[in-house]
Structure 1
Amino acid sequence: MVRASRGEMTPGMWRREAGTVMRRAGALPERSGASGASSAVVAEFRVVPAPTEWPPHAHHLHELVWVRGGTLTSRVGDRVFTVFEGHGLWMPAGVVHAGRATGGARFHDAFFAPDRTPIAFGEPKAIEMTPLLTSLLTHLARTDLDEAARLRAESVVFDVIRPSEHQLALRLPGDPRIDAIAEALLDDPADGRSLEDWARELGSSDRTVTRAFRRTTGLSFAQWRQMLRVHRALMLLSDGWDVTSVSESLGYAQPSTFIAAFRRVMGTTPGAFFGATDPVSGRTPEPLSPEIS
């Protein structure tokens, strides 16, 4: 398998792939439909032809973003969220976030007017993109709906939108005693240095490093590294890598060890996780116009 060349490091996320397109957050879609009435929910979708990043930005509307055929990674403060097939990420209005989508992903956006949205998620939240919810939002992407049809669809969206059981967020330490460890592992998740190796390299004690990880992330060093590797595995598997190649890339001695680690975090094997087919079909999105960073 040919692997992407290593490029510039993206702060607090993953190493930027060669050929990554940088895009500014564009204007939000119009909230007026065929009748001219203002909409509570507007949706749009398109194909991201190359790995694409959006620098930190915020919206005055709530945003729900999801992808098919790829992954989206979003940095919000000290957390990194990975959005994968069947799940979306709710971003409250005004929250600053950055994002990265894998090349070839079908990228979907829905924006919700805060004053007309009777649901409240006060923080970024993974959302379960059920076939019904996805179909409704695809329906709302149409520009020819009359006001009555739009209101009916919006009311059902508000009824069925629910948080996902998989709140896959990786909390970054933000502690100068261990930030070097997090940065090195974000740069190379296969780095196999042990807790003792790191403590010795940083001139610290095992206990100090252990306590720092527990206090800042809620996880032990081993758990945090395992979670990070699963985040990275989701991206690679979505890009079409096979399990053996992903296992090698992440530093596992053999695929069975990687599969067991993946199961511990996700509750199923990589093959079963990515074996489900997309139950929802829709229009073929238009590609984004390329921009060179």
Structure 2
Amino acid sequence: MSHNRHEHLPGQHIARHRHDQHQMLYVSAGVLAVRTDHGAWVAGARRAVWTPAHTWHEHRVYGHTTVHTLDFPTESAPLSDDRPTVIAVPPLLRELLIASTEPGLTAPELGRLRAVINDRLRRADVTPLQLPRARDARLVHVCRLVLDDLSRPRTVAWLAREAGISERHLGRLFRDEFKSTYPQWRTSARVFQAMIDLTSGATVTETAHRCGWSTTSAFVDVFTRVMGQTPGTYRSRGTDDGPTA
């Protein structure tokens, strides 16, 4: 089982690849967007991404980023092996993940750390923040229209006209493919982008405008509800918070 710690520069892209073992990817500073055939996820200081073995994926770095990766054998996976998953990272798990990638660990030390990590992962809370990948060509087009400019509040009626289908049909596409409504998906898309913008140095007010909130206070309310911390706190941790263990 390998364990590694890497420093990445803003904007760096790790090309599409896959592993023979399961992988846990944790980011103690900065943000890493993980994209697979299933969709896109954001790994940050409060969330880690679990990628099952043989899953094709690629990464893009936002901000100066410290990445910790741990491999897990396929025969003893502590999490689901059918698709990528985002898990919440509480303080204890955070310190364990960071400590397990320290250089110079002996095999007994690493074994003890990994045993506790496995126990905590089996109890981990799975978090829903992700951007699923559309398959229907009309839904792909609609999602691209929204994501290309999140500052503009696209309505279902406008999107349906652009896609050449009815509002009811568009709503059905969102439910069938994403298991959510259009407003729910758009909220995830805006928070997803906000995490990237905040880590890249944008202010809370700038991020609120870029991601389509009418007021900064509305952005703060939604971001805090989804992420469990205010945008200001997330921004300071994402740009300054490094490994502590």
State the TM bucket, normalised to the shorter chain: 0.7 to 0.9
- Distance in 2, matches of 1:219 and 1:257, equals 21
Of 165-174 and 71-80, the range deviating more from structure 2: 165-174
1:188 equivalent to 2:149? Answer: yes
Q: Deviations over 1:96-120 (max 9, x none)?
A: 11111213111221122334x4524
Calculate the TM-score normalised by the size of structure 1.
0.73
Gapped regions of structure 1 (runs ≥ 5): 1-39, 283-293
Q: Which of 80, 85, 98 is the matching residue for 2:40?
A: 80
Change (3 A) 1:187 1:126: same
Alpha-carbon shift at residue 48 of structure 1 (Å): 0.9
Question: What does residue 119 of structure 1 align with?
Answer: 78
Gapped regions of structure 2 (runs ≥ 5): none
Q: Which of 101, 104, 107 is the matching residue for 1:147?
A: 107
- Distance in 2, matches of 1:118 and 1:205, equals 44
Alpha-carbon shift at residue 223 of structure 1 (Å): 1.7
Amino acid at match of 2:244: S
Q: Which of 207, 214, 223 is the matching residue for 1:253?
A: 214
Change (3 A) 1:195 1:69: same
Aligned residues: 241
- Distance in 2, matches of 1:118 and 1:80, equals 22
Question: What does residue 281 of structure 1 align with?
Answer: 244
- Distance in 1, matches of 2:51 and 2:188, equals 22
Question: What does residue 218 of structure 1 align with?
Answer: 179
1:265 equivalent to 2:226? Answer: yes
Question: What does residue 198 of structure 2 align with?
Answer: 237
Question: What does residue 19 of structure 2 align with?
Answer: 59
Q: Secondary structure at the match of 1:126?
A: strand
- Distance in 1, matches of 2:77 and 2:200, equals 36
Amino acid at match of 1:155: A
Question: What does residue 158 of structure 2 align with?
Answer: 197
Of 232-241 and 197-206, the range deviating more from structure 2: 197-206
Change (3 A) 1:129 1:222: closer
- Distance in 2, matches of 1:147 and 1:222, equals 49
Of 128-137 and 195-204, the range deviating more from structure 2: 128-137
- Write 1 or 2 for the structure with the bigger share of helix: 2
Q: Deviations over 1:161-208 (max 9, x none)?
A: 243342311213321222211112222222322111122223322111
- Distance in 2, matches of 1:125 and 1:146, equals 30
Amino acid at match of 2:226: V
- The 8 Å contact of residues 29 and 242 in structure 2, kept in 1 or not, is answered as no
After TM superposition, what 4+ stretches of structure 1 lie above 4 angstroms from structure 2?
A: 272-280
Amino acid at match of 1:64: M
Change (3 A) 1:273 1:164: farther
